[in-house]
Chains A and B, each alone.
Chain A
Amino acid sequence: MSYEPTIPPPRRLKPWKAVERGLAKVGISGKALVLIAPVLWLLVFFLIPLAVVFGISLATKQFGRPPYSPLLTTEDGTVQLTLHLNNYIKLFSDSLYVAAYLSSIRIAFIATVITLIVGYPMAYAIARAPDPWRNVLLMLVVLPFFTSFLLRIYALTGFMRGNGLINQFLGLFGIEPLVMMQTDFAVYVGLIYSYLPFMILPLYTTLVKLDASLIEASADLGSRPWQTFISITLPLSLPGILAGSLLVFIPAVGEYVIPALLGGPETLMIGRVLWDEFFSATNWPRAAAVAVAMLAVVVVPIMLLQKAQNAVVEK
């Protein structure tokens, strides 16, 4: 065959090239073009809102629209900045808020630990399952996530109410109906039930990457299965444990729906307090202050989560 390095035919100017050249002319690089939309969006709809929350937490409630005092007022031509700290003082002095914080953290923490205990063996079983099964089981974990969260909580009430399925089942053995709904117990069940997939997925991701030959090597060197688990599997799955636990803990602290539907009036959770402050008491500045304080609780876990997720992905 013949081969001559030919000069290619003159290029037709294609639309892409024209667009690129045009943008390059005004000094917009591809990089900037990719970044500009998400950066602007997140600035306006994520970062600024958090600043606004902080600002309004320093206002006070007043009647009117919007129902809070303006921070900046103009009086005789001078601009005045009025900041109120009374929302924060209230947060620390009113035992309701303090109790709600502490109990939110306690409930979220206990629920996280139980979810980890329930989720770890499940994730391990899925990771060690033979190939076609593994995908099916994984799909089964994700599937509830795609059905409505609200409806699944509602389904739980059908299970736990006074004449619900559990009590009907216990009734068959002549056991008195248990009171489960409107208790902290129901809130724990609801939290674990809702957030179990969040725990399993990162655990699975670390466990499935765990080289099976490490476990064989450990056994070969004389470890019993539980020793292998403690000395090899558990330490290597720590990033997954951390990521999963934080993925459960952070939203659980601020949870509203579960305590509202499953908890009793004495189940104090901060998300519920914020909701009531906003919707029932229409005290927007107070609600904002509660949000800022909640943010202070979750900001460290959120930063930890970022690190943990990177560790899960990179390994």
Chain B
Amino acid sequence: MSIEIKNISYTYMPKTAFEHQALKNVSFTIKEGEVTAIAGHTGSGKSTIVQHLNGLLHPSEGQVLVDGTDLNKKGSEAIKARQLVGMVFQYPEHQLFEETVEKDVGFGPRNLGVSEEETEKRVKEALDFVDIDYETYKDVSPFQLSGGQKRRVAIAGVLALKPKYLVLDEPTAGLDPRGREELLSRVWGLHKRKKATLIFVSHKMEDVARIADRLIVMNHGELMLDAPPKEAFLEEEILKNAGLTVPATVRLLTELKERGFAVDPAAFTMEEAARRIAKAVKERRRGTC
């Protein structure tokens, strides 16, 4: 089971003075259980592409198949297929509106006609997952929460829909380093524990390196690169053209390698990079002695 994107193109405001082609013949397939990162600078078409994944936008050309169903089809089958894909927008806290946290998180399941008991169960689960205490916060207005809490409640609102595929559009934008860290580990846990398929948009290469199995790089509406992060980060030229930076650790190690140290630059955490540098330094000493 998978999401297949087949040769899609998308044009905003066709046939007006403001016509703009946001996607040009993009294809890729997302397999179940994968963590995919989509990166690119502003206006590269990454947000447009994720909106195709649950049928919010329909391609001007091409097809999007979720578990084999074309999202552009009319009828209940396509609606069901769309519901398989959960979508967390940029700044999801801007969509909160209910009087209480419980009602807001339960909004989605209730819309889908899930029974009251099941909804309550899902709300508890979802809030538990994003580390918001159900009993303490269920009757609190979402507007009284802090920024980070609001975001987590909003994400819980999507998790309560029990999507098979979860799409997150820059989930960590605007959070402080700790909030970012917490959110990432929560999302990563979702993948680890529940084998959820994740697709997330980010231009923080450090985040990508930490949790993605695969990196898709977009530039000017075209797919530039589709590879595991380890390989992708070595394609410095493509990344630079797409307006992205290689993680600091990779940059450091690449430079050391160019100066003659025997290191493999594909290290994405500080500890890993430090270990490799230490090893290379030791080897070099051994060589010179």
B is bound to A: no
Q: Which residues of A pack against B, CB within 8 Å?
A: none
- Chain B interfacial positions (CB closer than 8 Å to A): none
